[in-house]
Each structure stands twice: as C-alpha cells, then as structure tokens.
Amino acid sequence: MMVGEPSTVQPFFYPTKLTWSRYMEHPNTHDAFHLIEQEELVSSATVFPGSTEAVVQVVKWANEYEVPIYPISMGRNLGDGGAAARVRGSTCLVEPGVFYYALYEKIQKRGHTHLWIDVPDLGGGSVLGNAVDRGVGYTPYGDHFGAHSGMEVVLPTGEVIRTGMGALPGNNTWQIFPYGFGPYADGIFTQSNYGIVTKLGMTLMPNPGGSEGFMCTFKEEEDLAQIIEVIRPLRVRNVLENVAQLKHVVQEVALLGKPRSAWYQGKDQIPIKVLREIASTLPCGDCSWVFYGSTYGPKEARQIKLKAIREAFETVPGARWIPRESLPKDHYFFSREKISSGVPEFEELRWLNWHPNGSHVFFGPVSAPRGLTVPLIARKWHDECDLDSFPACCVGLREMYLIVNMVYNRGDPVSKANAYRCMRGMIKDAAAEGFGEYRTHLLLQDQVAATYNWNNSSLLRFQELLKDTLDPNGILAPGRSGIWPKKYRGKGWELGAGDLESPSEGDEVSHKTLLIKEGSRL
C-alpha cells in the first residue's frame, strides 16, 4: 500500500498479532496504549487516500456498503485512543498529513527561519490532527484551533465544502480571516464525526525578537492553590505569554527516564516524602512543584518581564528561582525551552519508562485557575487505585487544565484495569462538582458527553440531530465524542460510568460488509 495511490485499500487481517514497538512506529490499526483488551478497538483495514478526491471516493464507498470509517491524521493521539476506531472493524482513514517535524524542517529548509510553528509536547503528531482534536502547544499561538484559519471538509455524503473565506472563489484571504460570512462552521468539525478535514490553514507566529525559558520550584505540595493565585493575574495580563506547565515533582523524577522500581518498591502511590528526597539530589532541589515558563520579545523586554514574574513567584514561601545557567546541558529544561519557541521535541516520552510497557491516559478537566477541588479528586482516585499521579497545571488564559498523565503497564491487566477504573471515577466525581473534560480517551467519550447534560441533554440531542442529517448512513466515526448515529443509538454501544469491563459491542447493525470481497479495490 502506498501513500498517493488513492484508490487502494490496505487490508488488515484480523486477528493478527497486534504489536507496538516505538513511538515513531505506532500502529494505524488499533490503540497502541490500550486501556482494555487491545483487540477491542481495532480496525479491519487502513486506507491512505492521497487527495481530497480519494477521500471522497472512500466516503462514497463507505456509504454504499455502510462500512464505518474513522479518520485519523498521524494516529498518535496516544493517551486519548491513538489510531483506534470505536466500532470494531471500522476502516481507519488516514490522511498522512503534515507532522510537526516535517513542517518545522520544511520552514527551516526554505529559509523562513523567522517563522515559528507551535508544537505540543511531542513533535510526532500532525498539525491537522492536533488542531481538529483541539490540542494545545506552548508558544503564544498554543490554542491550535484558535490559530487555524479555514478548512476543506469532505462531508459524510461525499460532498466537499470549504469554510470561511474559502467558500468565495478567487479569494486570497482563506488563511488570514477565519470567519467568512454567515454561521461559523469550523467548530463542528472538531472532536466530531461530521466530516473529514482534508485541508486546514494554520497561522504561523513571527519570531517576536527571541525567547527565553525560566524555571521556578515550589516547596510544599499544599502550596498549589497559592501558586495558581500568583499565576492567574500574570497570565490574564499577558505577562506570562504562553500556556506554561506547573509540573508535579514526580514528573521531574520520571523525566530522568528510569523505571519507578529504581526509586520505590511499594505498590501504593509513591510518597511525596520519597519524591522530595530524590529531588534534593537533582538540579531542581527539594520541591513539590516545578514551573517551566518562557518569556518572549527582545532581550530588554524579556528582562523586565522576568523580573516581574520572579518577584511574584517569590511571594510563595519556599519558592526558588533556578538560573538556566546553573542547569546541566542535558536537563529537560532545555527541551521545554525549545518547545516553547516552536521546535519539535520528543523528551516527554521519557516518563513512559516509569512502568514496563509504559502507556498513559490523560485526565483533562477544565476549571477556573483557583482552588484545589479537582486536584484532590484526582489524588483520591489515584490513592484508591494504587496509581502514581502525574499532574501538571496549565493555565490557558482564564481557564486551567489540570492534565493528569496516568502512566500504567499495558502488559499487566491489573494495572490497566486500575487505570480504567481511576479514569471513570475521576470523571464522575469531577462532574458532580461541575467540572468537565476538554478532551478524553475514545472509551470514555460517552461518559464525558453524558456529563454535559444540561436541560435534558439538549446539546447532545442537537449534536445527534446534526449527525443524522449530515450522515444518514452513520458511516463516519460512530460514537466519536459520544455522538452515535441513529443506526447505533440506544442499541448497547454507549459506554457509561459503570462500564469497567470490555466495551459492549452493541446490537448487530446492518452493514453490507459481506459484499466486499477480500482484496477488492475501490
């Protein structure tokens, strides 16, 4: 199977051995970071369309045979489902897309070095896949959906539309003015199953005159609420200009890349006392939290901002400003500094060594940048399930994401079951306190969607109405974000808060897949 050979289907013979070796060699057939039995979320074939026309062809074929398809770009959404399809046997539709490294290298090669891209922690994902999943990066252009301008979308019927100014023939503003005229459509193609995005305009940030990382540590775990109180006014006034990360010290230890067993043998959550003792031997010193930030602009402007930030941070007792010059050259700080100026990196993968067969799943509730309710819910459930908690607080602007990276051993059924149970518990308890996730793993999307249930779930009913109108045969990513097409709805496919075992496959739905002969071409 070759990319650019648009009409070819690469059959994936199930069941073969499902494997995953390295991040760069992830599968396009299933969730590499499986949270339940890995055979549960598997596609039956992978198609690599090389053009919009080829995507249209695949979509028409899927309608004809009523085969569910699931679009991915790079399929590296690891921790949120990767390349899995919610309906087993779906065809994964892969738009190879442009991954961050490729875009970065192309820009450098062409000599446009004054232009920055914006990257998430790992550079192996695609610009398009990340933006349509409403992912985040770490320069001032870190809201990837917010930084995009214009889309081309293949609708589930095969019709192609262009949004914003792209609908105006002959325009030269598609990639600079996102809204166009009339209702703004782009949002409905993110985290959704209403269309396959085949083109996406992304704005690039001109180098503002340089950037410079900084690092500050905070001593006590309980100081979190006070630290956030200090960050909030700096962020909303744009003194802190990007979405910086306040990481728990466990991440500082795990980023050394050694297994947990090198530090602690207990089966319970690794105690903060142990972590602080280890930290005392590292450049960060004895601490519970580490803030990795960046300032932007010409040197003089950066110095003024750094002074203001340092003074504010040092109002927290025990805060310690760590000069970048004092850090060894291989310290994670320098990777963070690069990411914050749009240079793709991989270092973040190091903490997956914490467990053998290291995988992870994200818990990403949104809250106001204030208080400790959500971190305490996460702590309670990690204790309950004997899991180490890897929290990082990211203050977006007026909102805060508590990103809890839960690392587990996907080779150990108990470790996986604990991680799954912990996720379900945190989502339930957070919703009871009025907190919802901004994004979640494919298996948990029904549960999260069901928490957004104001006015008798009127939003979900509206989304279902759109789904049934745009995708009458229900072929595109059934179940994505909890939106099931009529054909599947209420037939046992939905996974609720209490579903801790394998996902129900639901009732038989009328596919015409039997008509497709092995090896047939589109």
Ligand X SMILES: Cc1cc2nc3c(=O)[nH]c(=O)nc-3n(C[C@H](O)[C@H](O)[C@H](O)COP(=O)(O)OP(=O)(O)OC[C@H]3O[C@@H](n4cnc5c(N)ncnc54)[C@H](O)[C@@H]3O)c2cc1C
Which residues bind to ligand X, rule: CB under 6 A? Answer: 71-79, 81, 95, 120-122, 125-126, 128-130, 132-133, 135-136, 196-197, 348-349, 480
278: three-class secondary structure by DSSP: helix
CA distance 26 to 90: 18
Nearer to ligand X, 276 or 292 (CB): 292
> CB-wise, 129 or 369, nearer to ligand X?
129
Between 34 and 76, name the residue whose CB sits nearer to ligand X. Answer: 76
Establish whether the linkage from the previous residue to 15 is cis, with ω within 30° of 0.
yes
CB 365 within 8 A of CB 448: no
Identity of the residue, 102 or 497, whose beta carbon is nearer to ligand X in the bound complex: 102
CB of 399 to ligand X, least distance (A): 15
Give the whole-angstrom CA distance, residue 44 versus residue 11: 7
Task: Catalogue the E-assigned strands of 276-317.
Answer: 289-296
Distance, CA of 295 to CA of 341 (rounded, Å): 10
Calpha distance 271→269 (Å, rounded): 6
User: Given the complex with ligand X, which of 133 and 437 has the nearer CB atom?
Assistant: 133
| Least separation in angstroms between CB 170 and ligand X | 26
Which CB atom, from 54 or from 316, has the smaller least distance to ligand X?
A: 54
Output 118 or 223, the one with its CB closest to ligand X.
118
Q: How far apart are CA 410 and CA 37, in angstroms?
A: 9
**3-state helix/strand/coil string of 359-415:** EEEEECEEECCCCCHHHHHHHHHHHHCCCCCEEEEEECCCCEEEEEEEEEECCCHHH
In angstroms, the CA 355 to CA 360 distance is: 10
User: Cα torsion at 166, 172, 176, 182 (round to 10°)?
Assistant: -40
Shortest distance (Å) from residue 325 CB to ligand X: 27
CB closer to ligand X, 223 vs 446: 446
Min. distance of Cβ 522 from ligand X in angstroms? 18
Q: Whole-number minimum distance, CB 298 to ligand X, in Å?
A: 27
CB of 128 to ligand X, least distance (A): 6
Partners of residue 366 on adjacent β-strands: 401, 436
CB 382 within 8 A of CB 269: yes
Closest distance to ligand X from the beta carbon of 5 (Å): 18
Query: Residue 132 or residue 400: which is nearer to ligand X going by CB?
Result: 132
- The helix/strand/coil state of 115 is strand
> Which spans in 66-213 are helix H?
100-109, 127-132
**Six-digit token string for 491:** 């037939």
Nearest approach in angstroms of CB 58 to ligand X is 12
Q: Which is nearer to ligand X, 77 or 389 (CB)?
A: 77
302 vs 341, beta carbon nearer ligand X? 341
- Nearest distance, CB of residue 300 and ligand X, angstroms: 30
Distance, in Å, from the CA atom of 489 to the CA atom of 103, rounded to the nearest integer, reads 40
Residue number with the smallest Cβ distance to ligand X? 125
Residues in the chain: 522
CB of 348 to ligand X, least distance (A): 4
200: tokens are 């996406």
Q: Could you tell me which residues come within 8 angstroms of residue 454 by beta carbon, excluding any fewer than 6 positions away?
A: none
Per DSSP, the three-state class of 516 is coil
CB of 219 to ligand X, least distance (A): 26
